[in-house]
Amino acid sequence: MRIATALIGAAIALSAAAPADAQERRLPESRQEIKLSFAPVVAQTTPAVVNIYATRTERRRRNPILDDPFFRQFFGDGGPLPQDRVQRSLGSGAIVSDDGLVVTNNHVVEGMTEMRVALSDKREFPAKLILKDTRTDLAVLKIGDGREKFPWLRFADSDALAIGDLVLAVGNPFGVGQTVTSGIVSALARTQVGVGDFQSFIQTDAAINPGNSGGALVDLDGRLIGINTAIFSQSGGSVGIGFAIPSNMVQVVVSSARSGSKSVTRPWFGADLQSVTAEIAESMGMKHPGGALVAGVAKGSPAASAGVEQGDLVTAVDGRPVDDVEGFSFRFATRPIGGQATVTVQRQGKPRDLKVALAAAPEIPPRDQRTIGGESPFTGATVANLSPALAEEMSLRSDLKGVVVAEVASGSIAERLGFQKGDVVREVNGARVPDARELERVSEKGGRQGYWKVTIERDGQLVTSVF
């Protein structure tokens, strides 16, 4: 089986009643109640669900040999000029403010140069990309001139969801037009979805199909509780296992867009965590695995300042349970910068509440990002100086220092030789490389006696290669 990116529809909800967290959950008690319809909530929410059409034109260049006079003497003009290739992407989105902020999946608009947003009333608007966050697979677009008011969806508290709650999903599956499906919340805090860095998805059996990515999952009050983003499928179509990014994470990205930021700043914990296996749980005297075990604490980090120690078991953030490392990452990442979070740990069998400052990771030293040219094993790699901010951004250990491979160009020498994003360069030709500038200088200087000896750290292991 495989995880298939699914384009799912925008917002929907189910009943215009009192707030969901104040409603009594109960089964239908009569035939009349079974006949109740979602139509009023659908009518309320669908105007704020949009279709997104994105395109990118790739210029296809004529082979220069075809213009060579010698070639043309024998073979003519080489035929017609190659036509440009247009790539298209179809997805859905949800309007989350009356001035035209639209949330969708980043994979819907990634690399696209032109985007248009179509409303349910057939109006279309050009869209501008305001912010993209690859770590959550979310993007925020802007439509309108700020004077026109649009229908929009309010956010619900995704932490208040319960398994079994009714939900609606709206989108444009397979491009057939706006479609509404209903279902329940099948599971919460799913962590093995493989989409984004923060794995804590809402699972639903509401039908999600290609064309619906970026669409809305809505509660009974017509409030946005998630952005649908992926399905679990063998065929690529819906089999009743869909996943949505919880609204509490979506709000973090939208808040950053509203502030004018070009990236999302999240709080830095500053400790390396590992999941608790059955063997670890048994050795710690636990009845069952759970929580996140502290494997190390970065000096000077918020975790260190709060008194977090190696061997502590993190069990909750602000009173909400933490089942694993992914659960902690999600909970902590949704806290706003500034103030404090209460992190509960078990130490020697006793619970302790520690106050951790919600501060951004420092970018010291500056990343000084450089793309290596010339002829060396690193040609085509973009490298940068590691800092706590960059380590957090790339999901690396917080104590790592040195030079990291930030990107590897497709088809480059670096890619062909096996370098990967996240590799930390330790030595080149027997000498340590302290920063990105020195790695660039060494690469331009050339190899020693016709060969290169490179040592990198990958996933905690040192790997030495000779090229």
**CA 53 from centre of chain:** 21
Hey, what are 289's tokens? 């695995």
What is the per-residue burial (b if ≥16 Cβ within 10 Å, else e) of 216-239? Answer: bbbbbbbbbbbbbbbbbbeeeebb
State yes or no: 259 annotated in a binding site: no
Q: Which amino acid is at 343?
A: V
User: For the CA atoms of 134, 135, 138, 139, what is the dihedral angle to 10 degrees?
Assistant: -40
Q: Where are the alpha helices (DSSP H) in 338-427?
A: 388-393, 413-416
**CA 259 from centre of chain:** 19
What is the per-residue burial (b if ≥16 Cβ within 10 Å, else e) of 432-449? Answer: ebebbeebbebbeeebee
Q: Which amino acid is at 377?
A: P
Q: Is 30 a catalytic residue?
A: no
CA dist list (Å): 38 to 10, 184, 232, 284: 15, 13, 26, 50
Q: Helices 325-333 and 247-258 meet at what angle, rounded to 10? A: 40
Q: Is 137 a catalytic residue?
A: yes
Which listed residue (133, 137, 221, 272) is catalytic? Answer: 137
Hey, what are 427's tokens? 């030595």
- CB–CB of 171/206 below 8 Å? no
The most distant pair of C-alpha atoms in the chain lies apart, rounded to whole Å, by 87
Q: Is 107 a catalytic residue?
A: yes
CA distance 252 to 264: 8
Q: Which amino acid is at 416?
A: R
State yes or no: 98 annotated in a binding site: no
Which listed residue (92, 107, 205, 256) is catalytic? Answer: 107
Hey, what are 299's tokens? 């000096």
Tell me: cis bond preceding 377? Omega within 30 of 0 counts: no
Which listed residue (213, 247, 256, 387) is catalytic? Answer: 213
State yes or no: 213 annotated in a binding site: yes
Residue 286 in 3-state DSSP? Answer: coil
Please spell the DSSP secondary structure of 282-348, one letter per residue. HHTT-SS--SEEEEEE-TTSHHHHHT--TT-EEEEETTEE--SHHHHHHHHHTSPSSSEEEEEEEET
Residue with tokens 């690469």: 443
Contacts 24+ apart (CB under 8 A), 20-27: 20/156, 20/160, 20/165, 20/219, 20/220, 20/221, 20/223, 21/157, 21/160, 23/220, 25/162, 25/164, 25/165
CA distance 15 to 182: 12
Q: Which amino acid is at 442?
A: V
Residues with a catalytic annotation lie at 107, 137, 213
Q: Binding site: what residues are annotated?
A: 107, 137, 211-213
Binding residues for substrate: 107, 137, 211-213
